[in-house]
Structure 1
Amino acid sequence: VYSVKTGGYWGLRRKDVDNRYEDDKYCIPLEKIQRDDSHYVDKKASVADLTGYISTWSGFQNFRKKHGDEAAHNILTDFEERFMKILDTSSTTEDTMITLRFHYFLLMGKKSNAL
């Protein structure tokens, strides 16, 4: 869904987020800098919750504005059907629990003590 269906509907800065702000233009102009990419948060959710989350993405919303509610709904329905088929389960999307993993990173900088 992210790159194939809504790929052309994200803002220009989305690439910066995907690249975790590693471009030189985001270099912190301080003497001491540190980057920490080790933060993850796991969240239990249903497949229906994940579908709802996808529907909040700006790329999805931009797609919906251009192509209409029906086309947007079809993306979500297709996603759920494919996802449930991969999981090989007959339960509902509301009853099928999964773990979502969110990756966070931290950029830190410290000014030198010299005046």
Structure 2
Amino acid sequence: MDTCYPLHTTRTNPYHTVLKRDESMTVTLPSTVLDLVSYLASTSTMQNFYAQKGEKEALGVINDFQDSLLDQIGVSDDPDNIELKVRFDYILIMGRKPF
């Protein structure tokens, strides 16, 4: 059975000569401030924070983020009515076994 080592290991990586890194993939989606705040709340980081610190602390962080975002874009309207374009950058690392 072949062993696949993580890229950061100091062991010999059988894929090192055939690794390709592509950072050109981006996706831009129409969104609202409320969508972005909901996305943040759904991340595993926020879920772990919620589990460790409790609902009050987590909601405080989320509300601070929303207030800061509204401040940065210079509006104070309903977060559900403010449209944004959210860009996600993806990194693809491809490798194959040498022949």
TM-score range normalised by the length of the shorter chain:
0.7 to 0.9
What residue number does 2:22 align with?
Answer: 36
The two structures have a TM-score, normalised by structure 2, of 0.79
The two structures have a TM-score, normalised by structure 1, of 0.69
Superposition misfits of 4+ residues, deviation over 4 angstroms = none
Q: Which residue, out of 59, 63, 66, partners 1:80?
A: 66
Identical-residue share of aligned pairs (%) = 28
CA distance in 1, matches of 2:92, 2:13: 12
**Is 2:14–2:98's contact at 8 Å kept on the other side of the alignment?**
no
Q: Which residue, out of 91, 109, 115, partners 2:77?
A: 91
Bigger CA drift: 94-103 or 104-113? 104-113
CA distance in 1, matches of 2:89, 2:80: 24
**Is 2:25–2:91's contact at 8 Å kept on the other side of the alignment?**
yes
CA distance in 2, matches of 1:65, 1:54: 15
* Counterparts in 2 of 1:29 and 1:64: CA distance versus 1, 3 Å: same
Larger radius of gyration: 2
**Can you list the C-alpha shifts for 1:10-40, whole angstroms capped at 9, x where unaligned?**
xxxxxxxxxxxxx533x96234221111111
Equivalent pairs counted in the alignment come to: 92
* Counterparts in 2 of 1:109 and 1:55: CA distance versus 1, 3 Å: same
Unaligned runs of 5+ in 2: 1-6
Unaligned runs of 5+ in 1: 1-22
Which protein has greater RCO, CA pairs closer than 8 Å, 6+ apart? Answer: 2
What residue number does 2:3 align with?
Answer: none
CA RMSD of aligned residues (A): 2.3
